[in-house]
Amino acid sequence: MSRKFVFFDIDGTLYDTSVNIPESTRESILQLQENGHVPLIATGRAPMMFKDLRETLNIHSYVSMNGQYVVHNDQVVFKNPLDKDKLRELVMTIEEKEGPFIFLDHENMVSRLKEHPRYDVALNTLGLPFGYRHDPEYFKERDVLQGLLFANKSEYNDILDHYTDDFHFIQWHDVCMDILPKGGSKALGIRHLIKTLGVDIKDTIAFGDGSNDHEMIREVGIGVAMGNSSDALKGDADFVTAHVDDHGIQKGLEQLGLI
């Protein structure tokens, strides 16, 4: 078998429903490496949110922030910030209806409001070892790679529909959505990373479970949906492995003959 490059989502894929790495997953990633294949990460998280995971699994190349910040061997190979003028316009319009935002680059998570109850409701599901800091002017001065709007899309459909030519909105929690540049996705990040690696797309595989994984699952040579995925993602996948809490990574890699 030729060498395969295997992209793993984090939440609901590498991390189980308790936001831990199952021992079977840890052992499977090690076996994958020993068998000559290359595990990589493709996540919506910013790099500072999964530093410990990278060290635990010895993974140094990844697609982060839903494709907006891509790293190979700890060196940045691609970043794709949001348009400052359009972002400012969106924020000012949403804030007329009191919508709360957090903005991220590769090392900062900064809130527009000092606090908001929805911040904790959504962010607590990620099990982060740190919090956000407050700076209402941050997004005006720095390159923002990803925005978080703490709302359900239905609350702002009339506004968001005016910005579909500028941004891509991904609802990942009942009260939180990602804001990416138009065309931004994990698939875009994967294209940039495999170009750097000199890898053919047919030699790529991806495991995912979430609403931000559709493009990735369709892009790669073999797309694998976790058993805990939505029916829509399962429909995009080449096959479905077991639930993340039922050794889904191990069983999927075994089915592929990689371990």
Q: Which of 43, 50, 44 is nearest to 129 (CA)?
A: 50
Q: How far is CA 117 from CA 44, 45, 113, 123, 213, in A?
A: 22, 21, 11, 10, 27
- What angle do helix axes 23-34 and 248-255 make, rounded to 10 degrees? 30
CA 258, CA 205: separation in Å to the nearest integer?
11
CA 141, CA 84: separation in Å to the nearest integer?
9
Q: For this structure, is 9 an active site residue? A: yes
Q: Which of 68, 55, 52, 47 is nearest to 168 (CA)?
A: 68
Task: For residue 146, list its beta bridge partners.
Answer: 104
Residue 14 burial by Cβ neighbours in a 10 Å radius (0-12, 13-18, 19+):
buried
Residue 30 burial by Cβ neighbours in a 10 Å radius (0-12, 13-18, 19+):
middle
Residue tagged active-site, from 9, 203, 209, 213: 9
Give the residue numbers annotated as catalytic, written as ranges.
Answer: 9
